[in-house]
Structure 1
Amino acid sequence: MSPFNEFKEMVQQLDAAYRHWTGTSLPTPDSLGEDERLAWLHAQAPYALLAHGTQADPLFYYANEQALASFKYPREQFIGMPSRFSASPLDREMRQTLLEQVTAKGIAHGYSGYRVDRMGQAFMIHHGSVWTLIDEQGAPCGQAALFWPDPERVGHLV
C-alpha cells in the first residue's frame, strides 16, 4: 500500500464536503486525473488542509503536508491533538466564534487570523475557509479547514 492510500478516503471526504457547500472541488491544477488530484491535495497543495471530529473537545484526524509544515508538527503528534491548541489562548475565542458560524451556516470563507505552531510561535493564516464535513447520510461528522500560509501565494496552485 502506498503511503497516500491511508489518507485517500479522508481527502475524498474533505473534497466532497467542500463541493457540497461550494459547488466546486478543492482547487487543484486542471491537468490532474482524480487519483492524482487527491494525492496532490495531500502532498503538494500550497495551502493547508486539516480536519477535526465532533468530540466535545474536537481532535484533529487529518492534516495534509502543508498543514503539518505550517504548524511544525510531525503527523503522529498532530493527529489526535485537540484542535483548540492550533490557536493561542488569546485567539481561541475568535476561533470558536468562527466554528460556531460554520456549524450554523455550513461554511465560512475569507478568514484570516493567528495560529500557533508546535513551539508556541504565532503565524498568520490567510484567506481561510472552514466547512462542515458530512457523512453519507448528510449528517455533520466534523469540520475541515483550508488556509494559505503565504498571502503572496493565495490562489496560486503551482
Structure 2
Amino acid sequence: MNRTQKDTLIRQISENFQQLSGQPLYVSPEAGDVCQWLHEEAPYGILVHNTDADPHFIYANGHALASFKYTEEEILTIPSRLSASEQDRPERQRMLTIVLRDGIVYNYSGPRVDKYGRSFMIYDGVVWQLRNPDGQVWGQAALFWTDEVKRPEWFRPVRN
C-alpha cells in the first residue's frame, strides 16, 4: 500500500470513528501531518479488518505492529481472529457481534497474542463499524492501548 492509499484509508477510518463517536480520533496537538502521525507516532494501536467470511487485517498502524510483533507485510496476510488466543476468541467474537449491531463498542479490554504466541493485554479499546457513504459495511476498526493506565495529557477518554 503506497502512502496515498494509506492516507486515504486512515482518513476513512477517522471519518467513520467521528461519525459514530461524535469526536475525532485522538491526535496530539503537536501533530503536523495527521495521517502520518496516526500511522507512525500514535501511542495507541489502530487495526482494521475486512468483511471476508474469515476477516483479514487490511491495516495496522505502527503501535499495533509493534504490539503484535508483525511487519506490515506479515499482518496483512493473517486472519484477524489470530490476534486472540483460541480460548479468548469467543469473547472477541461476542464483542464484534455487538459492533455489528450497535456500530461501536467502548472500553473493551482483553488478552491478545503476538506473532510468537506471547500474550499481552489491550485496554480502553474502541471498536467501530466502517461504512461507505452509501452505508455498505466494508470492515471494522479497533483502537487500543497497551498500557493499563498511562495516557498522554491530551487524551480524552471516550465513554458511552
TM-score normalised per structure 1: 0.92
Q: Could you tell me how far apart the structure 1 residues matched to 2:111 and 2:8 are?
A: 29
Q: Could you tell me how far apart the structure 1 residues matched to 2:86 and 2:147 are?
A: 23
Question: What amino acid maps onto 1:59 in structure 2?
Answer: H
Aligned residue pairs total: 154
Alpha-carbon shift at residue 37 of structure 1 (Å) = 1.2
SS in 1 for 2:143: strand
Partner of 1:138: 135
Alpha-carbon shift at residue 146 of structure 1 (Å) = 0.3
Q: What is the aligned counterpart of 2:79 among 62, 82, 86? A: 82
Identity %: 42
Partner of 1:110: 107
Alpha-carbon shift at residue 153 of structure 1 (Å) = 2.5
Q: What is the aligned counterpart of 1:46 among 36, 43, 46? A: 43
TM-score normalised per structure 2: 0.91
Asked if 2 retains the 8 angstrom alpha-carbon contact of 1:45 and 1:157, the reply is no
Q: Could you tell me how far apart the structure 2 residues matched to 1:68 and 1:157 are?
A: 23
Question: What amino acid maps onto 1:105 in structure 2?
Answer: D
Q: For residues 111-149 of structure 1, what are the alpha-carbon distances to aligned partners after superposition, in whole Å with 9 as ceiling and x for unaligned?
A: 000000000000000000000001121221110000001
Query: Unaligned regions of 5+ residues in structure 1, if any?
Result: none
Query: Unaligned regions of 5+ residues in structure 2, if any?
Result: 156-160
Question: Any runs of at least 4 consecutive aligned residues in structure 1 with deviations exceeding 6 A, and if so which?
Answer: none
Asked if 1 retains the 8 angstrom alpha-carbon contact of 2:29 and 2:154, the reply is no
Asked if 2 retains the 8 angstrom alpha-carbon contact of 1:46 and 1:157, the reply is no
Q: Could you tell me how far apart the structure 2 residues matched to 1:78 and 1:114 are?
A: 18
Alpha-carbon shift at residue 156 of structure 1 (Å) = 4.4
Q: Could you tell me how far apart the structure 1 residues matched to 2:154 and 2:41 are?
A: 9
Partner of 2:118: 121
Partner of 2:27: 28
Question: What amino acid maps onto 1:94 in structure 2?
Answer: E
Note the aligned Cα RMSD (angstroms). 1.6
Question: What amino acid maps onto 1:46 in structure 2?
Answer: P
Q: Could you tell me how far apart the structure 2 residues matched to 1:115 and 1:141 are?
A: 23
